Structure 1
């Protein structure tokens, strides 16, 4: 098929309109889940909060996260916003602080705790190598949820801390 000189046979929308050809937001969510670790829901919230703090669209932050070479830092404004969003997500809520102090009698079996924590770490490693794999994201999300329920904690970070404390 011939086209007028200088025109592509595919419309800009089919070419990605100048955007990265791979959807970057799901990959960025997977990368955050592997690095932090956290659930997919928490990763979406962290990404949205960081984008809001940096005053950029979520897709632009996701693109920056996914295209920055490993071992390199994001631009300062984006790195700072992402760090603050992660810190805010990991700040214990007053309800979880109360729960830690008032309910020490309900402690899961140490072997089950170790199994759940090991599964989460395995999923985290798998997700680090394939952050845009939907099966890896689901497995990490499931492992994070299981650990949260087992440890009676609202966030993955709190559940990991509680599990590690129980096992030491």
Structure 2
């Protein structure tokens, strides 16, 4: 990867996270969220998290915590949001796309239909109660399942692919 887009953690010193602010769970969750958005391996997600933290002038822990609280409906600071957006876009450049040597394994149509059903049910629940954190998590879980099943980088493309595949 180009160093100017996604600097490696070894290229500059990273300040140690302050004890008690963010657990390793928040960092793991943030890496998982980035893996779903990219999609890619954990190493790429960690590089994106590092790049976003460096661009925002924050620690990785602060960025991870902002991502976790943002997934629960709290506003994400503008500098972190912009830095994450830039880092994700940089990681999606054609030079960074995965090179598949053959066709991807596809789920069964039944699995795709079940995942779509869970997604649409969760969306109905969220529309009925937009402030309900359980409904929001259900939508997030259903979208993540579609990301993984359909190997697509965005909710829109994952749902479209699943709809076409199940039809």
**TM-score if structure 1 supplies the norm length?**
0.46
